[in-house]
Amino acid sequence: MKFYRSHILVGINETSLKAGVQDFIQTLRLELKKNNLQEEINILETGPLGFFGKGICLSVYPENVNYQDVRIEDISELVSEHFLKGRPLSRLMLDAAGKFSPILNYNKRIVLRNSGIIDPESIDEYIGAGGYEALEKALTQMEPKQIVDEVKKSGLRGRGGAGFPAGMKWSFTAPIEAVQKYVVVNADEGEPGTFKDRLIMEGDPHQLLEGIMICGRAIGANKGWIYIRGEYKLCIERLEKAIAQCREYGILGKNIFESGFDFDIDIRIGAGAYVCGEETALIESLEGNRGNPRWKPPFPGVKGLWRCPTVVNNVETLANIPFIIQKGADEFLKYGTPECPGTKVYTILGDVAHPGLCEVDMGSTLRTIINDYAGGMKKGFRFKAALVGGAAGVIIPDRLLDVKMDFASLNQYAAVLGSGAILVMNEHQSIVDILWSIIRFFRHESCGKCAPCRNGSEQLYRLITKIKKGEGTMDDVELMLLIAETMQQTSFCALGQSPIMAIRSAIENFKDEFITITSN
Amino acid sequence: MYKEICKKYSPDKDNLIYILHDIQDTHPQHYISEEAVEVIAEYLGVPANHIYGVITFYSMYSTSPRGRNIIRLCESPPCYIKGSENILRKMKIMLGVETGGTSKDGLFTLELCACLGVCGNAPVMMVNNDVYGDLTEDKVEEIVEKIRRGN
C-alpha cells in the first residue's frame, strides 16, 4: 500500500459534475505532476463532503482544510500555495478558519462513516474500510433469529419518518412460511428539503447493499428491490456499479460466502409521485400500477409485493444495519437516547451559513444542529423559524429551539422528526407564504384515491391563497384547521393525514402574522 | 419502433414504468403517443386504460408532444423561499409560454415539478437530464441561450 503526505478529497455530485469536476481533476493531476508532487499527494474522488458550494468542493486530509467553489483557474495557485509552500489558500477556504465541515469534523458517525472518505465507486475501498464484514458475520456466525434479535436489541427505529422499530418489523415477517419473500428499499425520497438518502447512497452505496442482504438473511428473503427516484441519476449509476461489483466478487448471487445463502438485488426507477414514498403505494408502483396506497391490514410484512411477505425499509434504516451487526447492539446503544438510540442524518437548508449534510446523535437539540453543524445563521440574518421534517413536518419557532430532536421528544410538541430535513427561515420570510407553498405541494401530490385528501387539499389551497392575497378572514384560518383535522382523521394514508402538522404549528406559533394579513 | 423498445423488457406488467420511461426518452418530442400505448397494451396484455391511468398518475410522463428540451422547475418550499417564483416569471417571459407550454420554435417545454432532491442548491431546475442549481434570472437566461445555440 502506498502512503501519501496529503489526500485531496473531491466531492463528486450533481453540482460539481455540472461545474466540470472531471476536467478539474485532470488538470489538478497534471499540475501536481508538473510540480513533482504526484507521489506525495493523492486525489480521491468521493461522495458528499457535508457542505454545499456553488461548484467544486474539496477537503484536504490530514490538514482538514475545506475549500469551496474552486475553479480550474485556481488550481496552479492552490497547488503552489497549499501543497508546495504549505499555506492553505485562504480566499477559497470554506470559512475563516477553513476547518468547518459538519460531516468530517465530528466522529460520531454510523451511517456516514465512510461518506466523503472512501471512493464510493470502489468496492475494494469499502472492503478496506471494514465493509462486508457484517454480512460475513451474519451469514457464517449468526442464525437469522439472532440477527433479528440483535436489531431488536439495538432499538433501531425506522428512519423514513414514522419511526417504527425496525427489529419488530422484521420479526413479523421472519417466521412466516412462504415460497418467496422480498426486501424493498424505499429510496423514493420526495419530501421537499430531504435528500439525505440520495447523499447516503451517493457517498457509500455498498453500505446500503450490505444492509439489504443482512435483512434478506434475517427474514428469509432472497431478492431485494431498490425503488429509487427517477431524478436521482448519479445515485442510480453508483448503485448499478456497486451491484455489478458485488456480483463480480460473488457477494451477490448464489451461495454467498459458501453459506448456502442466495441473494440478488435489482433497481426499479420511479416516475415522479410523492405518494410512492408510502410503502403500499410504492409496492403498487413496483408492480406497474398507479401508486395508490392499499388498505392495511394486511401489512406488507404479511402480504406485500406480489402478495408475498415483504419488508419495506428506508435507505437510512438499512444503512445502520452493517454497523449494528458488525459492532453489536450494545455499541449502537451508546449513541442517541435510551428511547431512540443511534444517530440521525439531516440536511440543513435555507438561511444558514453552511447548508449541508450532517449526522448527529438522536436527541441533539435543534439549536446545536443549526449552530454547530450548519455554522449558525447566514450573516446578517436572525432566526425566525425552522420547518422540520419537510412538507409533512412542523414549523418550529425560536422559543422551541432547544427541543430535542428524536421521535419521543418531538412527539410531546405534536411534532415529528420526519425524514430529516431542516429548512431554516430568517426574519424576513413570511410564514403565510411558506404555508401556501406547503399546501400547494400537498394539493399537487394528493393521489386522488380518497375524497378527504383529494377535496380537502383543494379547499385548503383555495383558502390559503385567499389569505395570502390579503382577502381572507380569521374564520378562514379556523376553517383551514378544521379541514386539516378532518383530513387527519379520515384520509386513507399518511399524505392526507399530514397537512395538519404544518398548518397547526404555523397558526399556533405565528398567529400574529395571520391576524395582520387577514385584518388588512 | 415501439415494439423494439418493448422487447428489451420481459412482457411483465411490472416493467410498464420502465417501458414508458424508455419510449418517452426515445421519442424526439418526449411523449407517449396513442399508438405507443396500443403497442404496449398488446405486448404486456393489459388494457390500454390501465396504461393511461399509469401515465397520467406520474408527473414525469406526458401524453401530448413536448419540446426538444424539457425544463422542470422545482416549486417546493425550499426552492420557493429562495425565489423560484421569480425564476418562473422570467422563464415564461423568455420562452413566451405559460406553465406546461412549448415555445414556438419547439425547443423548450416549461414544466413545474415537486422537489428534485438538490435542495442544497435551491432554486433548482432540470433540463432534460441535467440539474442546474443556485439559479438567478441571469443564469437561466444564459442556460436557455446556450441550449438554443447548441440546437
DSSP-derived secondary structure letter, A248: H
What pLDDT band is residue A106 in, cutting at 50, 70 and 90?
low
Closest Cβ–Cβ partner in B14, B58, B117 for A271: B58
A422-to-A95, A192, B2 alpha-carbon distances in Å: 22, 10, 44
pLDDT at A503 over 90: yes
How confident is the model over B84-91, as a mean pLDDT? Answer: 97
pLDDT tens-digit readout, B98-123: 999 999 999 999 999 988 988 988 99
pLDDT at A111 over 80: yes
Q: Which of B9, B57, B86, B112 to mutate to test the interface with A (most CBs of A within 10 A)?
A: B57
Whole-angstrom Cα distance, residue A201 to residue A47? 9
Question: Looking at CA atoms only, how far is residue A231 from chain B in angstroms?
Answer: 7
**pLDDT for position A100:** 55
Omega of the bond prior to A298 within 30 degrees of 0, cis? yes
- Higher-confidence residue of B41 and A357: namely B41
**pLDDT for position A1:** 53
Whole-angstrom Cα distance, residue A10 to residue A3? 18
A58 Cβ contact list (under 8 Å, min separation 6): A8, A9, A10, A11, A49, A66, A67, A68, A70
Which of helix, strand or coil describes residue A353? coil
Q: Which of residues 91-150 of B touch A (CB under 8 A)?
A: 113-122, 126, 129-134
Q: Which backbone phi and psi does A517 adopt, to 5 degrees?
A: -70, -30
Number of Cα atoms under 13 Å in the Cβ half of residue A448: 8
Across A313-325, b (16+ Cβ under 10 Å) vs e yields bbbbbbbbbbbbb
Here the cell at position A355 is 447548508
Q: What is the mean pLDDT of chain B?
A: 94
- Beta carbons of B121 and A54 less than 8 Å apart: yes
pLDDT tens-digit readout, B13-36: 999 999 999 999 999 999 999 999
What pLDDT band is residue A78 in, cutting at 50, 70 and 90?
very high
pLDDT tens-digit readout, A396-444: 999 999 999 998 888 887 777 888 899 999 999 999 999 999 999 999 9
The secondary structure of A178-223, three-state, reads: CCCCEEEEEECCCCCCCCHHHHHHHHCHHHHHHHHHHHHHHHCCCE
**pLDDT for position B57:** 95
CA torsion angle for A312, A313, A314, A315 (degrees, to 10)? -110
The secondary structure of A147-167, three-state, reads: HHHHHHHHCCECCCCCCCEHH
What pLDDT band is residue A375 in, cutting at 50, 70 and 90?
confident
pLDDT at A70 over 90: yes
Which of helix, strand or coil describes residue A47? coil
- Beta carbons of B12 and A289 less than 8 Å apart: no
Whole-angstrom Cα distance, residue A417 to residue A344? 10
Alpha-carbon Rg for chain B, nearest whole angstrom, is 17
Here the cell at position A40 is 506525495
Which among A402, A405, A400 has a CA at the least distance from the CA of A417?
A405
Residue of B nearest to A292 (CA): B57
pLDDT at A272 over 80: yes
Question: Looking at CA atoms only, how far is residue B114 from chain A in angstroms?
Answer: 7
A16-to-A105, A152, A155 alpha-carbon distances in Å: 22, 40, 37
Interface check A437 vs B, CB under 8 A: yes
- Beta carbons of B120 and A437 less than 8 Å apart: no
Interface check A285 vs B, CB under 8 A: yes
Here the cell at position A364 is 441533539
Interface check A307 vs B, CB under 8 A: no
